[in-house]
Amino acid sequence: MDDNRIIELYFARSEDAISETAKKYGRYCGSIARSILFSEQDVEECVNDAYLAAWNSIPPARPEMLAAYLGRLTRNISINRAAKERAGKRQTNASVLFDEVSEFTPDQRAKEPIDSVEFTDLINRFLSGLKPKARVIFVQRYWHMDSVDQIAKSLDMSISAVKMTLMRTRSELAKFLTKEGYTL
């Protein structure tokens, strides 16, 4: 079923919207959650939470790209779950991610609170200036939360090259954010 028909089901408040979503994007959302969470149970729970979030937000939202919308929901829920488990010293696949992201995460002790919309806009601005290869690797790593190994396989690159690209991109992003006034 195409995305527009699925969205119409959400707008019609038909329960087929969820089943059709799971049928089409269940594996996709699961892979995103599995990139972040260690436990398969947690993965299933987060995916189900993502479906619920979609049911609760559509309408009024009418996403232009359903895959991205669902992926984003799954991602955020998984990240929050991972953050909790990290705080509880529980193993997650996101632990390495958190360490890497820390390199360009603004310090919360800044004078002004960090506005998410503004921050996201800056990230998009930064990404627009990257070469496609570096941008895809960044998105796969920090949006899809794929492992370095998965990225290397999917793009026919060596692990070393992926790691090096990520390291350089993080460094450039940190400089970019610093130039924009953020304290890292």
Partner 1 sequence: MKDERKTLIDLGGIDDKYITEAEQAIASKAAPKEFSKRRRGRTAALISAAVVLVLLLTAALWLFLPLKAPYPDVSKYKGSDYYDLISAINVQNYRKDHPDEAIFINNYEKYLKSGKQKVKLQYVSTETDKDNSGKGPTAGLPDEEGQTYFEVTDNQTEGVIEADMFKRSGKYLFYLSDHDLLAYEIAGADTKLAGSLRVIDEEYIDYTEGFYLSEDCTKVTLIYSATQLDENHHKIRPFGEYTVICSVDVSDPANMKKTGKLKIEGESYTSRMVDGKLTLILSDDEKDWQNINFDDPASFVPVMDDGESIKCLPSDRIHAYGQMYYIYTIVCRIDESTLELEDSIAVLSETDPEHIYMTEDSLYLSGSYFDESGDYSVLKSNIAEISLDGEKFGFIGSALVDGYAKDKFCFDEYNGVLRAVMTVQNPVIVEKDVSYTLVDNASIYCFDANDMTLLSSVENFAPDGEVVRSARFEGKTAYVCTSTTLVAVDPVYYFDLSDPNNITSIDTGAIPGFSTSLISLGNGYLLGIGRGRNLTLGRYTPAFKVAIYKDVGDKVEEVCSYELAGSYSENYKGYYIDRENGVFGFAFTTDKWFPWHDGEDDPEPVEVPDKSPFEETPVYVLLHFDGEKFEESVIPLSDSFRQGGYYYLRATVIDGKLYVLNNDQILVIAPEFTKAIDHQRLSRIPNFG
Is residue 65 at the binding interface for partner 1, with CB under 8 A as the rule? yes
The alpha helices in 58-101, defined as continuous H runs, are 66-87, 94-101
Nearest CA to 38 out of 87, 76, 95, 88 is that of 95
Looking at beta carbons only, is 16 or 98 nearer to partner 1? 98
Is residue 117 at the binding interface for partner 1, with CB under 8 A as the rule? yes
Nearest CA to 35 out of 86, 93, 91, 74 is that of 93
Segment 5 to 64, residues that bind partner 1, using CB under 8 A: 64
Is residue 176 at the binding interface for partner 1, with CB under 8 A as the rule? no
Residue with tokens 């995103």: 32
Is residue 174 at the binding interface for partner 1, with CB under 8 A as the rule? no
Region of 3-11, 18-26, 48-56, 75-83 interacting with partner 1 (CB under 8 A):
75-83
CA atoms within 13 A on the CB side of 44: 3
Nearest CA to 124 out of 66, 61, 177 is that of 177
Which residues are near partner 1 by CB under 8 A? 64-65, 67-68, 71-72, 75-76, 79-80, 82-83, 94, 97-99, 101-102, 104-109, 114, 116-117, 119-120, 123-124, 127, 131-133, 135-136, 139-140, 142-144, 146, 153-157
